[in-house]
Structure 1
Amino acid sequence: YRTTLRYIVPGLLLYFLSWFILSGRITSINYFIVYMLVVTVGFILILTGGTLLSRIIKDALADDIFNADNETFPQEERLIENEYSINLPAKYRYKGKTRNSWINFIAVFRSVLVQGGPGAGKTAFCIRHFISQALNKPEPYTMLVYDFKFPDLSLIAYNHWLKNKHKYKAESGCYFINFDDLSRSHRCNPLDPVTMEDITDASESAKTILYGLNRSWQKKQGDFFVDSAINFVTAVIWYLRKYKDGQYCTLPHVIEFIQLDYSKMFTLLNMQPEVSSLITVYIQAFQNGAIEQLEGQIASAKIALATLSSPQIYYILSGDDFKLDINNPEHPKVLCLGNNPQKIQTYGAVLSLYINRLLKIINKKGKLKSMLISDEYPTIVADVTTTISTGRSNLICVLLGVQSINQLIKEYGKEQAEVIISIVGSIISGQVTGDGAKRLSEQIGRIMQDRQSLSINRTDTSISKSKQLEAAVPPSKIANFSSGEFAGVLADTPQQPMPLKAFHCMIQNDFDEVDREEKAYKPIPIIRNVTNLIVMKNFTTIKEEIEQIALSEMEKALEDSE
């Protein structure tokens, strides 16, 4: 301000004092020349000082200290729909105004990644709408819902299925897997012999269950003891698949089978030609008396699987209420798998087996469209990369919910996490920090932003303006999102190109309507009355069946040797 005053004060003095030059009766032209010079100099000084003052005032009044107005960009305001799309209403700011927009997921079969920390609003603002809109379609989706905090998502899926089940072209069903309330759970055998076509299916199932029980094993693929345990469980699964055409091919029977003593177990396994090559190394170690080596190879599998030796788990896994072919045109299904945050590792391993078997069964031609929703995806072991890559042509939409990319890397390893992140078509993110925020900011890209710099020195004040490419949504802003505030990038289709794919907005939820809807929800029904006596009888029966198999097959082996 001092520089400004140095111009304005002398200018005002000269300008107004010039009046005294003309106050007398002056006839000489020299006085008029002096008058004009004084007035001109005074006016120029006032003008210069005023210009500097206006710059300073304008800079002082600038209230966009977080650059919020500059970091806005045009977004898609059209509602773009197709028979598969999911559309979320939103509001965004652009050039100081709040405008309506739509987040149009028109290419859902290219898959969706939803990320956001606790309380960011992943479920309330995004996942619940995928469930409700998918089941409200004129021809509803078939669906798998992995419900980490059962029954939150399952209630939404069940009630929307109830309202729309008449829209399916064939009789549909809604099924639940719930290990905590057996009366409200269906029973299903994930090792259904009909779907176990060859020994590779047994190997994949063995990997899934062991990786689920020992999450660190995922990062040790190729390790001798890890592969030994997987081969051992593979051999047991395939033996039971071939024995009496899979009559006893269930996970509970597998768990009980591996508890047999070595002499019985290896004799039985060696009777099946297709698994003999897998167990040769174990038999040799047993025959050579290398019990410590044998224990090292097998004990890790026995100990891990023993944690699943529960009457409740045995009861659910040994039944056959439904098949996992949820997108079967003859019997479409909505399947809800319920986990418990207090028992993540145990239940997560079993649910991972369900999901991996289902992924292989449904990824075929000629099936109905399906949506696979995995809330808190890192809590299960399910390799979805193949499904994301190839499922688009089979009308399979995969939605993965994660709290952060770092969580995904921790559970799946950097290599597999990078693959998943890079192949999903659409990403929508709430509040996240660190690498997740940086990666999202880079994906959204940069926009041309106004830049202004103020320079003040002893004699002058100058303001420079320029335009620069800067991040449209910087990581620091993503780290400070409010609940319901989301940013991301969408995929489109050749038939419905969408130039404005990036978005940063507040998703609009009518919470009053949601509350009214939830109050009218029907609870998950009781499937059957299950007593503790029934559960324990099933548990005992499985143990007795394995003992009977061992007894009868050992007698047969003795007869053959004679």
Structure 2
Amino acid sequence: MAASYFKSLVSEKQVAGILGTLASSLSKVAIPEIFYLLSGDEVDLELNNPEHPTLLTLSTIQTLDKTYAPALALIISMSLKLMNQSGRHHSAIVLDEAPTLVIPEFDKIPATARSNKIATFFIAQDMVQGEDGYGRIGRDKILATLSTHLYGKVTDPSTAERYSKMFGTVDKYYTSKSRKAGAWSNSGYTDSLREIRKYKPEKFHQLDTGEFIGVIADGNMKEFNARFKCYQESLTQLPLVRNVTKIEIQQVFEKIISDTKNFI
């Protein structure tokens, strides 16, 4: 964007078009609440610091997921860079509805983070969702670096077909009985060996709630088909850290805008 801007300084119309596109993109995240949250430095993004390990929870709401996605992806990306180093406390990153966020070069994280004692959870309702933000190649790169996979019930036929192929085939013996008619009728048995899929596509359409078919990288079993017990625990109301008014949020927002104009 910046390169295009400098190359087009001779054309006022082109400059106006670039600035308009840039302003339109930035306006989606120019929200006072986002400015306020990102203005402080209370949270150390080096979450797995051995001296003070921290749990950071980020969330959004469905109606504003596209608005908050860039800010959330930025926080996660910066935190991962600080965490993904040797000598840190063992930790985990859990991304629920992961395809809604596009984290730059995320396909490189699981492989390198594993050696630094970081477990990566990339959770999605369907593999197809990953194509929206990362593209098919990017999605496949991420899946290739995740060594342990758990697959639950799906409704998309192409996804079920892909899951079925991923688990390969097995050899199965079949015995058939034949009988010849007539006065000297007799019967016989024929054994045959056939190669069939370990899990048919229909299997992934029929899984119950909480039931998964999985592949484990390092464990006492390589594959499993099991149903997990529902985790139940009473919810605890989170404490109020700080009571902030809309006026305070707006003041911080306006100050940041003012400081930015002074830089320009």
Q: How high is the TM-score relative to the length of structure 1? A: 0.43
Within the candidate set 292, 309, 325, 2:46 is matched to 325
Higher relative contact order (CA 8 A, sep 6+): 1
Partner of 1:538: 252
Partner Cα separation in structure 2 for residue 345 and residue 454 of structure 1:
62
Matched, 1:429 2:151: yes
Partner of 1:347: 68
Q: What residue identity is the alignment partner of 1:399? A: F
Partner Cα separation in structure 1 for residue 111 and residue 208 of structure 2:
33
State the secondary structure of the residue aligned to 1:504.
strand
Partner Cα separation in structure 2 for residue 435 and residue 321 of structure 1:
46
Partner of 1:523: 237
State the secondary structure of the residue aligned to 2:122.
strand
Which structure 2 residues correspond to residues 286-435 of structure 1 after superposition, within 5 A? Answer: 286=9, 288=10, 290-382=11-103, 383-432=105-154, 433-435=156-158
Which structure 2 residues correspond to residues 61-460 of structure 1 after superposition, within 5 A? Answer: 228=1, 232=2, 282-283=5-6, 285-286=8-9, 288=10, 290-382=11-103, 383-432=105-154, 433-453=156-176, 459=182
Unaligned runs of 5+ in 1: 1-227, 233-277, 551-562
C-alpha deviation, 1:343, in angstroms: 1.0
Q: Is the 8 A contact 2:108 2:145 kept in 1?
A: no
Partner Cα separation in structure 2 for residue 508 and residue 522 of structure 1:
21
Q: Is the 8 A contact 1:325 1:362 kept in 2?
A: yes
Q: Is the 8 A contact 1:378 1:407 kept in 2?
A: yes
Partner of 2:195: 469
Partner Cα separation in structure 1 for residue 239 and residue 51 of structure 2:
24
Q: Is the 8 A contact 1:440 1:488 kept in 2?
A: no
Q: Is the 8 A contact 1:431 1:486 kept in 2?
A: yes
Q: Is the 8 A contact 2:173 2:191 kept in 1?
A: yes
- Deviation readout 1:129-152 (Å, 9 max, x if unpaired): xxxxxxxxxxxxxxxxxxxxxxxx
- Deviation readout 1:394-435 (Å, 9 max, x if unpaired): 111101101111111233111111111122111011112434
Partner Cα separation in structure 2 for residue 457 and residue 354 of structure 1:
75
Q: What residue identity is the alignment partner of 1:536? A: Q
State the secondary structure of the residue aligned to 2:208.
coil
Aligned CA RMSD, in angstroms, stands at 2.2
Partner of 2:208: 482
Partner Cα separation in structure 2 for residue 298 and residue 455 of structure 1:
80
Q: Is the 8 A contact 1:405 1:436 kept in 2?
A: yes
Q: What residue identity is the alignment partner of 1:318? A: S
Q: What residue identity is the alignment partner of 1:531? A: T
C-alpha deviation, 1:456, in angstroms: 6.3
C-alpha deviation, 1:369, in angstroms: 1.0
Q: Higher helix proportion, which one?
A: 1
Partner of 1:125: none
Partner Cα separation in structure 2 for residue 371 and residue 490 of structure 1:
17
- Deviation readout 1:82-126 (Å, 9 max, x if unpaired): xxxxxxxxxxxxxxxxxxxxxxxxxxxxxxxxxxxxxxxxxxxxx
C-alpha deviation, 1:327, in angstroms: 0.8
Q: Is the 8 A contact 1:371 1:396 kept in 2?
A: yes
Partner Cα separation in structure 1 for residue 89 and residue 223 of structure 2:
30
Partner Cα separation in structure 1 for residue 31 and residue 14 of structure 2:
29
State the secondary structure of the residue aligned to 1:333.
coil
State the secondary structure of the residue aligned to 1:343.
helix
Percentage of matched positions with identical amino acids = 28
Partner Cα separation in structure 2 for residue 418 and residue 366 of structure 1:
30
Q: Is the 8 A contact 2:90 2:117 kept in 1?
A: yes
CA 1:462–1:477: 2 relative to 1, 3 Å: farther
Unaligned runs of 5+ in 2: none
C-alpha deviation, 1:446, in angstroms: 2.5
Matched, 1:506 2:220: no
CA 1:298–1:353: 2 relative to 1, 3 Å: same
Q: What residue identity is the alignment partner of 1:436? A: T
Q: Is the 8 A contact 2:36 2:253 kept in 1?
A: yes
Partner Cα separation in structure 1 for residue 198 and residue 43 of structure 2:
49
Aligned length, in residue pairs: 259
Partner Cα separation in structure 2 for residue 532 and residue 426 of structure 1:
45
C-alpha deviation, 1:340, in angstroms: 0.9
Instruction: State the structure with more CA Rg.
Output: 1
CA 1:292–1:456: 2 relative to 1, 3 Å: farther
C-alpha deviation, 1:454, in angstroms: 5.2
State the secondary structure of the residue aligned to 1:328.
coil
CA 1:544–1:508: 2 relative to 1, 3 Å: closer
